Structure 1
């Protein structure tokens, strides 16, 4: 079930037990929201509490200004996570969320002496292999076309002008983060890194994910699953099963 957060607006919290042994922190993709990962809240064992980030500018935070800077977003997510650092934290980020998870992992360790149990990165190149993109500078039609290309969004909704008016500000802010972040130095994290990618991802070839090993002196593993950029929808059961197994062994 979903439980309260004592005023913390950053995470949707799922708990199957009042006394979890570990926490899984999920950071959504560009244009995404916590609701995309709703099923994850019921997919792990009773010892695992799931926290899914709620970015400003969407759903219950719709009235808040969107954030269009990776550093600002990472700083705020890191600060919001500190009250939950009493248990082992595993970070899972998809697409833009993978870059965010990496930056949060660095901040937790460097600034707060909190070493995550593991970092899971999905469908996103390593920080030192990224190339800037100017999509965020283009018109709304270009943003919608990119959402259609990547999948993961109900294309019928994108045809509704009212829906577009609601979601495009957040999409543009997220694509600004994606387009202006990187390349950055390959600063290593102090935890194992697990990389995930679909074998038909149109934006990130599977071989590119291997570069995450450059920031993973504590161990690196790449898993390629069938599917595109949003392989994690059709491969939900397989992905959750493998992440669950890694959670038990790492934290």
Structure 2
């Protein structure tokens, strides 16, 4: 069965930071972690220039889209995003998702494949359990104190946000909405992707277990390759050069 993509008339809204690569031999579509914004991928973009173009996704309800209502339906969000991504599929590309963004990246590729759109060459799942193994922690129902303690353990909140009550409140609200949207989503395990999946994880990441990582093997009929790096949940941002080198090497297998 095929689905019809919703062609986006606001591609600049979904992708607010145009690639500065001089020669985009390939593109990398990047989906952020829960509560995160597209700007977090700008350092990675600079590291992958000049031949790889990085296109970070900006979900509504944050950064330059703060006035847009945050998404409440994961399926509708992915379908609209797939229409925008299809417009960038005129050359080889891959999709990278960080933490919860990897689950959305998986659903995005499924939507593209179902629609018969040009599929990405690979999916990069960073710091994330396989979509069907995500535990039902119901963090969206946690109190602000409980949620804050959890994200502190992930080292997910910059010091400048922790020190500003207004910024912290907005960050927690966006995070809660993102978590709740995914918690309500019903993941279909009856189909699998047909592209390779590269799974990256930090060796001290407290949010992902080995069985959850291994679950990515069942999400594709293609190959699943695994790399473990030194660091915690946000190793990819703490060690941007390491992440960039791994992505460049692995993407070179297909472009």
Q: TM-score, normalization: structure 2?
A: 0.89
Match of 1:81 among 85, 88, 93: 85
Per the TM alignment, residue 164 of structure 1 is displaced from its structure 2 partner at its CA by 2.3
Match of 1:14 among 7, 13, 19: 19
Deviations 1:184-238 (A, max 9, x none): 4152211110001111111102442121011222211010111111111233212
Q: Is the 8 A contact 1:225 1:235 kept in 2?
A: no
SS of equivalent residue, structure 1 residue 14: coil
Q: Could you list the runs of 5+ residues in structure 1 that have no partner in the other structure?
A: none
SS of equivalent residue, structure 2 residue 12: coil
Q: Over the residues paired in the alignment, what is the CA RMSD in angstroms? A: 1.9
Match of 1:118 among 111, 117, 122: 122
CA distance in 2 between partners of 1:181 and 1:150 (Å): 23
Q: Is the 8 A contact 1:201 1:227 kept in 2?
A: yes
The match for 2:70 is 66
Per the TM alignment, residue 138 of structure 1 is displaced from its structure 2 partner at its CA by 2.4
CA distance in 2 between partners of 1:115 and 1:59 (Å): 28
- Residue 129 (1) aligns with residue 133 (2): yes
The match for 2:6 is none
Q: Is the 8 A contact 2:11 2:84 kept in 1?
A: no
Pairing of 1:98-113 with structure 2 (within 5 A)? 98-113=102-117
Per the TM alignment, residue 146 of structure 1 is displaced from its structure 2 partner at its CA by 2.0
Per the TM alignment, residue 6 of structure 1 is displaced from its structure 2 partner at its CA by 7.4
Q: Is the 8 A contact 2:140 2:179 kept in 1?
A: yes
The match for 2:61 is 57
Pairing of 1:1-251 with structure 2 (within 5 A)? 8-11=12-15, 12-17=17-22, 19-181=23-185, 184-185=188-189, 187-251=191-255
Per the TM alignment, residue 57 of structure 1 is displaced from its structure 2 partner at its CA by 0.9
CA distance in 2 between partners of 1:109 and 1:183 (Å): 16
Per the TM alignment, residue 86 of structure 1 is displaced from its structure 2 partner at its CA by 0.7
Per the TM alignment, residue 129 of structure 1 is displaced from its structure 2 partner at its CA by 1.7
**Shift in alpha-carbon separation, 1:83–1:133, aligned structure 2, 3 A:** same
Q: Could you list the runs of 5+ residues in structure 2 that have no partner in the other structure?
A: 1-8
Number of aligned positions between the proteins: 246
SS of equivalent residue, structure 1 residue 174: helix
**Shift in alpha-carbon separation, 1:122–1:168, aligned structure 2, 3 A:** same
Q: Is the 8 A contact 1:88 1:116 kept in 2?
A: yes
Q: TM-score, normalization: structure 1?
A: 0.90
